[in-house]
Amino acid sequence: MQSLTKEPKIETPSKFIIRLYAAIDDPNVTSVIWSRHETSFLILDKEHFQHHVLPMISKTTEFSGFIRQLNAYGFKKRNNIDPSVREYAHPNFIKNRFDLLTKLSRRSTGIVKIRECRLPEQHKISEREQFQAYV
């Protein structure tokens, strides 16, 4: 007889988050590194990152698409002294804290599509009738 109790769901980070973390952790990858405090990451060479690292992390190879992914996961851009260096942080994306990655989840975009409101035929008024109403 089968048990009716559900087995606990094992939380795993998304592939995007795991791949990003691995790329930053990889000592052979020099275009993206952990910050000095290890609570954020720095993209030191955008072009190299986009052409050589990004294809390993994401389906998109556009840097703007990568940034949208980061935003969807709640990463925040930090201002850096050097404008050519891009720094991003998330409270649960910390070096040597792989256990926190399960807390990163993709947020919904919050975009709600509104259907065009259509009036029933009997309530539609022609432009001519609207004009005559004001005359």
What value does the mean pLDDT take over residues 80-93? 94
Distance CA 83, CA 11 (A): 37
**pLDDT, the chain, mean:** 83
Q: What are phi and psi of 76, to 5 degrees?
A: -120, 140
- 98 against 130, higher pLDDT: 98
Give the CA distances from residue 57 to residues 21, 24, 63, 114, 130, in Å, rounded to whole numbers and listed in that order: 9, 10, 12, 34, 58
98-123 per-position pLDDT tens digit: 999 999 998 865 554 444 445 455 55
pLDDT for the residue numbered 68? 94
Domains of the chain: 15-103 (1.10.10.10)
Distance CA 34, CA 115 (A): 45
